[in-house]
Amino acid sequence: MPDLNFKVTGVEPAAYGLTPLLHFRLEVTNSLETELVQSVILQAQIQIQSAYRPYDDEEREKLVDLFGTPNRWGQTLRNRLWTHANTTIRPFTQTTEAVLPIHCTFDLNVLATKLFYALKEGAVPLLFLFSGTVFYAASDGRLQVQQISWSKECTYSMPTRIWQELMDHHYPNSAWVSLDRDVFERLYAYKRRQGLPTWDQTVERLLAEYESVHGR
């Protein structure tokens, strides 16, 4: 009966991804060295271990709307869900490698994006929680099915620059925010009334009006 263990050994942007996509490299090991594993349908929940890294003053300021003011971080700085991912693992004995693809977004309404965007350097501590189904051959040759234990997990520190470089590649010198349709329509009407040709100029005009009343 297979007993699988998992280790994340690296991460890199997908070479030809049309959308932001990270490839995490997995090392999969079966404790029964001579047993043939026919295939594995693997699922993973990835959490951000927010409390496992330091933050400087600039990062803390950007993370206020995520964790609140720093005096509350003792209660709010806890693991946060990033995403779910899945992959299929080919037949192997003892050890194999696989790629776990994770789709990313630059939508700053998304919790994980807010956190990644706020970080300047260092690494993001990640926790991978695995589940799924293992198909293997019994001693008499019959196909057997087994569920992966919920206790299977591993950690990995993803360099912050990996996410930053991925977004810089797909959205060079830009960022985007998703708006509700009615909010967008009001903003679009303001843009037309003011005769502003670009969205950058529209937002700059609104910021200038706010700062003239409230200051920076």
For residue 161, give the nearest of 122, 113, 115 by alpha carbon. Answer: 122
Question: What distance in Å separates the CA atoms of residue 157 and residue 148, rounded to the nearest whole number?
Answer: 24
Q: What is the pLDDT of residues 101-139, one digit of tens each?
A: 999 999 888 899 999 999 989 999 999 999 999 998 877
Q: Does domain 4-170 have CATH number 1.10.1200?
A: no
Most confident of 12-16, 46-50, 137-141, 175-179: 46-50
| Mean pLDDT across the chain | 90
Residues 34-56: what's their mean pLDDT? 93
Question: What distance in Å separates the CA atoms of residue 67 and residue 80, rounded to the nearest whole number?
Answer: 11
For the chain, give the percent of residues with pLDDT over 90: 61
pLDDT of res. 32 = 81
Residues 141-159: what's their mean pLDDT? 91
* Domain range list for the chain: 4-170, 181-214
Residues 69-90: what's their mean pLDDT? 93
Burial of 6 (C-beta count, 10 Å sphere; 0-12/13-18/19+): buried
Give yes or no for residue 90 having a pLDDT over 70: yes
State the pTM of this model.
Answer: 0.85
- Residue of 47 and 198 predicted with greater confidence: 47
Question: What distance in Å separates the CA atoms of residue 5 and residue 2, rounded to the nearest whole number?
Answer: 10
Give yes or no for residue 147 having a pLDDT over 80: yes
pLDDT of res. 199 = 83
- Residue of 215 and 51 predicted with greater confidence: 51
Angle at CA 96, nearest 5°, toward 93 and 98? 140
Provide CB contacts within 8 A for 30, sequence distance 6+. 2, 3, 4, 37, 92, 93, 94, 95
- Residue of 8 and 1 predicted with greater confidence: 8
Give yes or no for residue 79 having a pLDDT over 90: yes
Reduced to 3 states, what is the DSSP secondary structure of residue 88?
A: strand
Question: What distance in Å separates the CA atoms of residue 186 and residue 198, rounded to the nearest whole number?
Answer: 15
pLDDT of res. 87 = 97
Q: How many residues does the chain have?
A: 216
pLDDT of res. 216 = 65
Q: What is the pLDDT of residues 8-35, one digit of tens each?
A: 999 999 877 788 999 999 999 998 877 8
Give yes or no for residue 47 having a pLDDT over 90: yes
Q: What is the pLDDT of residues 153-169, one digit of tens each?
A: 999 999 999 999 999 99
| Residue type at position 92 | F
Question: What distance in Å separates the CA atoms of residue 23 and residue 181, rounded to the nearest whole number?
Answer: 33
